[in-house]
Amino acid sequence: MSSPIVKLVAQRIALGILLLLAVSVLIFAGTQILPGDVAQAILGQSATPESLANLREQLGLNDPALIRYFRWLGGVVTGDLGSAMSSGQDIATSIKGRLWNTLFLAFWAAVVAVPLAIILGLIAVRYRNGWVDKLISGLALASTSFPEFFIGYVLVYFFAVKYQIFPGISTVYDGMPFGERMQAIMLPAAALTLVVLAHMMRMTRAAILNVMQSAYVETAELKGLSAFAVIRRHAFPNAIAPIINVVMLNLAYLIVGVVVVEVIFVYPGMGQYLVDHVTKRDVPVVQAVGLIFAAVYISLNIIADIAAIVANPRLRHPK
């Protein structure tokens, strides 16, 4: 890689690390200002003042916030996410299986959503301003207008309750056969696909239409190339950078934004784990899950930036 590309990539990575550090401060500060008493939540309303004071001392809650932050950050850097206050279980061990479940769900949603969005975007450009383009754009706009919980409940009603094709509760477990696992995640994966599909399709269409106004595209059209050939060989390759950015942003959403979908389908992923422990005011779990979500989101954005930089021919072949 040329020097400008290396420099830009290094800048993006350094910026990502600084951003993650800033997010860790916000997550820690946010969990500290939550209402209620952690010790009281663990021991219950019948706890004596002495037992509450002992537990606060044991958990280090009496230490200054700055000391607690650096203690927590040091543990995260070394791979120690701490223990859940509500159960005493190691957070890293508990998260491992749930993170895999969330990634599995997001992966199969992306496998369907990404190529379908790009194909629909290309078709919409090919028949732009025609009834096909208007139909695809209209359906995309309607899909974008519905929130995740509405789409999830509609899918449950039709495919789980009325026609009983797929299970309404997505129960998965270790050692579950692949076919059964795929059937279990069908509805949550469909909900996530419908949520991100429309945005990716509309941005793909917009990016390609923007390139279609270029002089070299007009030249290709004057040479007699078919509309699909012009789009495939000239417009799409030059619109790949913004499309990659949109795809990566939506992939990040598939992993980070699964909370509502996982709760609706009672799917044992990171989102469900987070909600369960927010209700228990389990601060270490909330901090760990929040930081993991932030790290995934920032990492995918960095990858998108790097891919866009590498795909830029002006940076690959500087004069």
CATH code for the domain in which residue 208 is found: 1.10.3720.10
Query: Lowest-pLDDT range, 14-23, 147-156, 219-228?
Result: 219-228
* Average pLDDT of the segment spanning 20-31: 91
Contacts of 262 by beta carbon, 8 Å cutoff, 6+ apart: 102, 105, 188, 268, 269, 270, 271, 272, 275
Question: Which percentage of the chain shows pLDDT scores above 90?
Answer: 29
- The answer to whether residue 3 is domain-embedded is no
Round to whole Å and give the CA distance between 266 and 59. 31
Q: What is the pLDDT of residue 107?
A: 93
Q: What is the pLDDT of residue 261?
A: 92
Please name the residue that has the structure tokens 């000239």: 234
Round to whole Å and give the CA distance between 59 and 3. 50
Q: Quick one: angle between helices 91-126 and 270-279, nearest 10?
A: 130
* Average pLDDT of the segment spanning 66-82: 88
Is the pLDDT assigned to residue 157 strictly greater than 90?
Answer: yes
Q: What is the pLDDT of residue 101?
A: 93
Nearest to 86 by CA among 278, 263, 288: 278
Is the pLDDT assigned to residue 312 strictly greater than 70?
Answer: no
- The answer to whether residue 148 is domain-embedded is yes
CB atoms within 10 A of CB 305: 21
- The answer to whether residue 106 is domain-embedded is yes
User: In whole numbers, what is the pLDDT of the chain averaged over residues?
Assistant: 85
Q: What is the pLDDT of residue 146?
A: 86
Residue 319's pLDDT band (cuts 50, 70, 90):
low
- The answer to whether residue 305 is domain-embedded is no
Round to whole Å and give the CA distance between 299 and 255. 12
- The answer to whether residue 50 is domain-embedded is no
Is the pLDDT assigned to residue 314 strictly greater than 70?
Answer: no
Please tell me the pTM assigned to this model: 0.84
- The answer to whether residue 228 is domain-embedded is yes
* 199-233 burial code (b ≥16 CB/10 A, e <16): bbbbbbbbbbeebbeeeebeebeeeebeeeebbee
Is the pLDDT assigned to residue 84 strictly greater than 90?
Answer: no
Instruction: For residue 202, give its domain range.
Output: 100-283
Is the pLDDT assigned to residue 1 strictly greater than 70?
Answer: no
> Which residue would you say has higher pLDDT here, 242 or 104?
104
Dihedral pair phi/psi, residue 90, rounded to 5°: -65, 125
- The answer to whether residue 156 is domain-embedded is yes
- The answer to whether residue 142 is domain-embedded is yes
Task: Locate 12 and state its tokens.
Answer: 């993006």
Round to whole Å and give the CA distance between 29 and 64. 12
Q: What is the DSSP string of 124-164?
A: HHHTTTSHHHHHHHHHHHHHHHS-HHHHHHHHIIIIIIIS-
pLDDT, tens digit, 9 for 90 and up, residues 202-232? 888 888 888 887 777 778 777 877 877 888 7
pLDDT, tens digit, 9 for 90 and up, residues 266-291? 999 998 999 888 877 788 898 999 99
pLDDT, tens digit, 9 for 90 and up, residues 229-278? 888 777 887 788 788 888 888 888 888 878 889 999 999 999 899 988 88
Round to whole Å and give the CA distance between 121 and 99. 31
Q: What is the pLDDT of residue 315?
A: 58
Which of 27-36, 84-93, 105-114 is most confident?
105-114
Is the pLDDT assigned to residue 41 strictly greater than 80?
Answer: no
Residue 113's pLDDT band (cuts 50, 70, 90):
very high
| Under 8 Å between Cβ of 198 and 144 | yes
Contacts of 82 by beta carbon, 8 Å cutoff, 6+ apart: 72, 75, 91, 284, 288
Please name the residue that has the structure tokens 């299970």: 167
Q: What is the pLDDT of residue 317?
A: 58
> Which residue would you say has higher pLDDT here, 272 or 32?
272
Q: What is the pLDDT of residue 318?
A: 57
Contacts of 232 by beta carbon, 8 Å cutoff, 6+ apart: 122
Count of structural domains within the chain: 1
Q: What is the pLDDT of residue 222?
A: 77
